[in-house]
Structure 1
Amino acid sequence: MNIALWIVTGLLATVALVSGNIKAITPKAKLAEAPGGRWTATAGVGTVKALGGLEILAALGLILPAVLDIAPVLVPVTAVCWILLMIGAMVVHVRDGEYKVITANVVYLAMAAFVVWGRFVLEPFGA
């Protein structure tokens, strides 16, 4: 189970890092043209960049605490935060009528829920 948890955590961290970098680096106008990017048309540049930064921090929070063995409980806590972020993303995409994008949000939410359950219940760090 530990290997499965690491694989899912690594995949989720990769998604967070890539998505965060895209939001942090890509101009807002270009993001608005992309599939699922309609929400950026009504969001401020600072909001888009801040969400990108939060996603980059989530990627780090999913991996580094466990690898460095410094407060590894932050891994499932970060996954809980990711769940909240995905719920917010789904609300925004429903508001904007971008229903196809919600499938990805649900998958990422499920992955994070697996990490939360696995690291708090099944295989906590240090147990």
Structure 2
Amino acid sequence: MQLSYWIVAALLAALYLYAGGKKIVQSRERLRPMMGWVDDFPMPLVRVIGVLEVLGSAGLILPPLTAIAPWLAVAAAIGLVLVQVGGIAVHLRRGEARLIGFNVVLLVAAAAAAWLGTAWL
């Protein structure tokens, strides 16, 4: 179970670190080709989402790695599930149901990380 958690957590952490980092530092114009939804939200909110993704990324890895409050990894995984629920809602509201596949995969992976984390943390 531990190995499974680390594989899922590492993949999620890398993805969310990248995606969240882009949202934090790039302009709306640079984000638009990959994330058309940024036009629907104020940039401070896009930046907050990026910060939450980066914190979630760190939360998946650092607490179990350092054995300091390892339950935070489960909380981070649940938080990332909620990020994806929001992402799915935004895509559906924008009439982009065809784009939710990746969100669903990330939601399932984050839910798996939360479940795997409770199994051994």
Is residue 16–residue 56 contact of structure 2 (8 Å, CA) maintained in 1?
yes
Name the residue aligned to 1:50.
48
Is residue 20–residue 55 contact of structure 1 (8 Å, CA) maintained in 2?
yes
Is residue 10–residue 63 contact of structure 1 (8 Å, CA) maintained in 2?
yes
The whole-number CA distance in structure 2 between the counterparts of 1:31 and 1:101 is: 16
Amino acid at match of 2:120: P
- How many residue pairs get matched? 121
* TM-score of the aligned structures, taking structure 2 as reference length: 0.94
Alignment of 1:5-20 (within 5 A): 5-20=5-20
Structure 2 stretches of 5 or more lacking a match?
Answer: none
| RMSD across aligned positions (CA) | 1.1
Structure 1 stretches of 5 or more lacking a match?
Answer: none
> Percent identity between the aligned chains?
35
Name the residue aligned to 1:124.
120
The whole-number CA distance in structure 2 between the counterparts of 1:58 and 1:31 is: 20
The whole-number CA distance in structure 2 between the counterparts of 1:56 and 1:30 is: 19
Runs (4+) of structure 1 moved beyond 4 Å?
Answer: none
